[in-house]
Amino acid sequence: MALDILAVGALYQSSDISKMRVMAESPKKGTPTPKPFTPLKTKLTTIETKRIMSVLDETIQKVELVTLLSSVAANMELEGLLGEELSRAVREHEDLCQVLMNKVRYLQEEELQLQAEEEFEEEAWFRDLLLSIELQKSNLLPLMGQIRDSTKNILRLLLGNPRAAQLLRARAADRAPGAQGFVDSLVELRGFLFEKLLTSPMEARDKGQFIQDITKRNMRNQEVIDALENELAERMRNRAAEVEKENFVIQELKNHLHQVLKFSENSLTRTKQEAEKQQKADYRASQSRKKYKVETEIENWIQKYDTEMTEKQEEYEELDIIHKEEKIQLKELQTRYEVLVEEFSQIREEREINSKKRMEAEQDMMRMVKAATLIQAVWKGYLVRSLLRSKRKKRGKGKGKGEKGKGKGKGKK
């Protein structure tokens, strides 16, 4: 019931209806349209395909006219140009739509009230109100039937008056956004249907094979990407562990080097102090000792100091060499890591491209399935109408022959 009401509202876009919520929305813009295979044929060659396209074109034209009825009702000058009979039909149609929308608005308010008072659903008055709403909904069916009949009548008058139809089509800019979206969807459907009718079975099979190949290739690429991601994660974990270990070793070396430097400074200071003390003591103890002995002793202390400092310097240089080698290794590992990250980015971009292609192929397939369903429905309707027309013709011929036979019998008498 609700879908029927909204369907009628979508066809007649009055000022009140446009403010209400309509389920049919215009197609989202910005969505990339998948590029289909270009069919070899450019024109329809069979009668059946031409008839299908003719029926769809006629439907689009009728929808374009129906969705512009609101502009006629709102423009008195345009209403005068369309003729008295057509203007009267449009006014009656507007009145019916207004009555329907008032009833729908009233029912919506009643349903909101019921939702707000759900805690009293066991009460008798609540059940009575719910039953009343359901009864009012069922009473909307005859009114909706009148609106459909009124729409058919207006279309009949417009098709019989090409000038009025042309004037109405000139008001395309006044069409409501929801109705324009519906018309655009029908036009897009026509394009897909036309392409489908031009596509041969061999081209359709090739297209299906292409989609299957793309899907398989994407699956293989996904497996490779997963393996590379796992490998990259493992290498990053190992690299993190190595970096942490190297940082710990470097910190230990720095601490040790700092201790060595500090020990060397303390040792040098202590040695100098001891030398000075010893020199003073020796000077006080015996000023009579030869100068050579003092110089020899000082020389020995200096040599001892030089020896210790040389050993400390060699140890420092060895530690510095080890540190530089580890920095080189760290730089090489960082370079390898950057190469892996760049490869991973390229693989991820390729996966996104393949995913986008797969989505485009799926959307294309969904549109073709929808188009095929619509074609089948239109074709079945056409067959049923053709069968009914043939039966009516046969009945008319049978009645004509019966009347002629009766006339001849009276003449003989």
Question: pLDDT tens across 51-75, in order?
Answer: 888 888 888 888 887 777 776 666 6
Among 151, 155, 174, which Cα is nearest to 97's? 151
Helix (H, G, I), strand (E, B) or coil at 216: helix
Q: Which residues contact 167 (CB under 8 A, 6 or more apart)?
A: 78, 81, 82
What was the pLDDT predicted at 286?
Answer: 66
Q: How far apart are CA 307 and CA 386, in angstroms?
A: 118
pLDDT in tens, 14-51: 433 333 333 333 334 443 444 445 555 667 778 888 88
Q: How far apart are CA 98 and CA 90, in angstroms?
A: 12
> For residue 22, which amino acid is it?
V
DSSP assignment letter at 31: P
What was the pLDDT predicted at 71?
Answer: 67
DSSP secondary structure letters along 252-295: HHHHHHHHHHHHHHHHHHHHHHHHHHHHHHHHHH-TTS-HHHHH
Q: Which residue has the tokens 């491209």?
A: 353
Q: Which two structure tokens, joined as six digits, stand for 400? A: 């004509």
Residue 282: which pLDDT band, with cuts at 50, 70 and 90? confident
* Statement: residue 200 has pLDDT above 60: yes
What was the pLDDT predicted at 42?
Answer: 67
Helix (H, G, I), strand (E, B) or coil at 192: helix
What was the pLDDT predicted at 277?
Answer: 83
pLDDT in tens, 340-390: 888 888 888 888 898 888 888 888 888 888 888 889 888 888 888 888 888
| Distances from the Cα of 261 to the Cα of 14, 257, 317, angstroms | 92, 6, 12
